[in-house]
Amino acid sequence: MWSFSKIADLVHQSLNHTFSPTLATIIEMVIVGVCVIGLFAVLGLVLVIMERKVSAWIQIRLGPNRVGPKGMFQSLADTVKLLVKEGMTPSGADKFLFNLAPYIALIVAMLLMAPLAFAKDFQMWDLNIGVLYVSAISSVSVISILMAGWSSNNKYSLMGAMRSGAQIVSYELSAGFSVLSVVVLAGSLNLNTIIQSQADGWWIFKGHIPVMISFVIFIIAVTAETNRAPFDLAEAESELTAGFHTEYSGMKFALFFLAEYVNVFIVCAIGATLFLGGWMPFHIGHWDGFNHVMDYIPSSIWFFGKTFFLIFLIMWFRWTFPRLRIDQLLNLEWKYLLPISLFNILLVTAMAILGWYF
């Protein structure tokens, strides 16, 4: 049976046969880069059409239904439109930073792809501090937003960027704590080891109530970190026109847009990996018959299914909840989420030491 890991092995062997090991590694890197860019393009198209359809159905509308069957090529048409538009740079802007910011947003999203396990034994970079790497790199994304806001020479952009800075800096704390609760239980920072530790049940079931609390906190915090409604103060279409990307147009705007959606995918993939077992099929303890049946479903389908379930959850939040004010946003983090997650991490640690999990 074909699987992602087998294809990767085959490519690796054939390259090592024909080229020297150094050249083979370089070619593999190029292939991985091309694959990541391809995945970005596909994710952008799929997630945009998914968002528009979900929002339409939630608001009792039909959504895009003109381009292609049931409007499925709408995002493709939008991409073509964005590609042929002029990328303007305002005359008062800091041109270097203005043009650099969208690429940083995209590069951060690309770097975050590295430690994700897309299928069984299919990973770009199996590093032993995967969780730390993810939380470190994801905080760089605020730099691109601040850079875009500052260099635009526009008060709305700057306000959006400053809000975004305050928001990401505070919400990273509770996101980190909720990730830490799984790390405490699994006893490793390696994403692969964390997935392997969920072979007899996902952490959200094995860790029962405390892990469920940290899962809820994680979802809230990552929604805030990716700047999506109800925490989209950085953009705030109704107040700041578009926040930090007010002055961007054409492909530079498209890169920010793409980075936002890819970031949503990545945080959902991290959430799926930590709490829902990544590519690990749904296993219940020692029910071997049931577990064998579940193993027949390919691991990549499990991974993408869980990730898209979480993405749907975040979209559902976006189209249900009203946007928070900046003071309410910071109140929620510092008065509610942070105390709860601090108490929760204590609970999880006690649970891990005393072995009160399945």
* 54, 251, 294, 330: which one binds another protein (CB under 8 A): 54
Among 103, 336, 356, 358, binds another protein (CB under 8 A): 336
What residues numbered 189-248 form the site for another protein, per CB under 8 A? none
Cα 140 to Cα 135: distance, rounded to the nearest angstrom: 9
Using CB under 8 A as the binding rule, whether residue 327 contacts another protein is answered as no
From 44-52, 173-181, 296-304, 317-325, span contacting another protein (CB under 8 A) = 317-325
Q: Which stretch binds another protein (CB under 8 A): 59-67, 117-125, 247-255, 260-268?
A: 59-67
| Smallest separation (angstroms) from another protein to the CB of 289 | 32
Question: Is 319 one of the binding residues for another protein (CB under 8 A)?
Answer: yes
HSE-up (13 A, CA, CB side) for residue 60: 0
Q: Contact between 69 and another protein (CB under 8 A)?
A: no
Binding region for another protein (CB under 8 A) out of 118-126, 197-205, 290-298, 312-320: 312-320
Q: Is the dihedral of CA 349, 353, 355, 358 positive or negative?
A: positive
Residue 105: name the closest of 43, 168, 147 by CA: 147
Q: Where are the alpha helices (DSSP H) in the chain?
A: 4-18, 21-58, 74-84, 95-113, 130-138, 141-151, 155-186, 191-196, 203-206, 208-225, 237-240, 250-275, 288-295, 299-318, 326-331, 338-354
Q: Please state the closest distance from residue 323 (CB atom) to another protein, in A.
A: 13
Contact pick of 58, 77, 173, 347 for another protein (by CB under 8 A): 58
CB atoms within 10 A of CB 270: 26
Output 96 or 336, the one with its CB closest to another protein: 336
- Strand-pair partners of 119: 122
Q: Tell the smallest beta-carbon distance from residue 47 to another protein (Å).
A: 17
Token pair, residue 55, equals: 């929002």
Window 141-170: residues binding another protein (CB under 8 A) = none
Compute the C-alpha angle 351/356/358, nearest 5°: 125
Binding-site member from 30, 62, 80, 169 for another protein (CB under 8 A)? 62
Q: What single DSSP character describes residue 125?
A: -
Q: Which is nearer to another protein, 11 or 58 (CB)?
A: 58
Which H or E run includes 230?
none
Decide: is 320 part of the binding site for another protein (CB under 8 A): yes
Q: Distance between CA atoms of 304 and 273, rounded to whole angstroms? A: 11
Q: Are 37 and 31 in contact (CB under 8 A)?
A: no
Count residues binding another protein (CB under 8 A): 14
> Residue 2 CB, nearest distance to another protein (Å)?
35
321 binds another protein per the rule CB under 8 A: yes
Least CB distance to another protein at residue 270 (A)? 23
Please answer whether residues 338 and 173 qualify as being in contact, where contact means their C-beta atoms are separated by less than 8 angstroms.
yes
Local structure of residue 319 (DSSP, 8 states) = T
CB of 170 to another protein, least distance (A): 18
Indicate whether 330 belongs to the interface with another protein (CB under 8 A): no
Does residue 331 bind another protein (CB under 8 A)?
no
H or E segment and range at residue 119? strand 117-119
Please report whether residue 347 would count as binding another protein according to CB under 8 A. no
Residues that bind another protein (CB under 8 A): 54, 57-62, 316-317, 319-321, 336, 340
